Amino acid sequence: MQQRKLSPFIYSLATLLIMLALVLVGRSFAPERVQITILGTTDLHGNLNPIDYYTNKPDNRGLAKIATLIKRIRKEQPNLLLIDSGDTIQGTPLESLHARKNNQPPDPMMLAMDSLNYDAMAVGNHEYNFGLKVLEKARKDANFPWLSANTYDKATGKPHYKPYLVKEVAGVKIGILGLTTPGVPNWDNPPNWAGLEFHEPVAEARKWVSMLRDQEKSTSS
């Protein structure tokens, strides 16, 4: 049981480290020295407001709680990327009510993340908890890409999501690669991930990083 609880977090953290590694590779080709700030969130689990829903008391959590900090850092560091490592649209009564009772309005977490100008989000295992219809609806609500390089459509063998994103910041090309824990089939009901398969993330990371580097070298030459 302990291993199951830790695994999603470990894979989320690995995703963030891959993003940082690609940034360092990109910086080595920069003609001048530049400073780029990367802000990362993970496992937000629907925590928008700074409230503990079980005690109904204020708590030190929530995206709204750090919104002021993010906006302040943007003013101080204009060369900035804001990324999330997934497990975002599940975990609070707010998101449960939205997913199960009234899924027509835009997803609350996506609205908040859009307002903060997130650049990308990796797809976490908890994105599947309410099924593919809710997942795809939230993905459409976002103004930023959901990334997963190791999630494939069984029927076509093609990636179901965009594997990576390339952003140019202060003249530096930065690769952001997303990965999803392959434990989704072990933890979620089969209808919630029907038609998808999750490949081993380390091998997929090696493959896509190599492709990313080759593609960016060819496009910049």
CB 172 within 8 A of CB 38: no
Instruction: Kindly give the interhelix angle for 63-76 and 108-115, rounded to the nearest 10 degrees.
Output: 20
Looking at residue 81, its pLDDT comes to: 94
Looking at residue 218, its pLDDT comes to: 60
Burial class (CB in 10 A: 0-12, 13-18, 19+), 70: middle
More reliable by pLDDT, 19 or 98: 98
* Sheet bearing 146-147, strands edge to edge: 37-41, 80-84, 120-122, 146-147
What are the residues facing 153 on neighbouring strands? 196
| Mean pLDDT, the chain, integer | 86
Looking at residue 179, its pLDDT comes to: 94
Domain extents in the chain: 2-220
Tens-place pLDDT, residues 181-216: 999 999 999 999 999 999 999 999 999 989 888 877
4 is written with which tokens?
A: 């199951």
Looking at residue 29, its pLDDT comes to: 53
Q: List C-alpha distances in Å: 74 to 126, 143, 171.
A: 29, 18, 18
What fold is seen in the domain 2-220? Purple Acid Phosphatase; chain A, domain 2 (3.60.21)
User: In this structure, is the dihedral angle defined by the CA atoms of residues 110, 111, 116 and 118, taken in order, positive or negative?
Assistant: positive
Looking at residue 108, its pLDDT comes to: 96
Tens-place pLDDT, residues 23-65: 545 544 555 788 889 999 999 999 999 988 888 899 988 999 8
194 is written with which tokens?
A: 């029907």
37 is written with which tokens?
A: 């700030």
Q: For the chain, how many residues are written?
A: 221
CB 208 within 8 A of CB 164: yes
Tens-place pLDDT, residues 156-186: 999 999 999 999 888 888 889 999 999 999 9
pLDDT > 90? residue 86: yes
CA angle 35, 166, 106 (to 5 degrees): 105
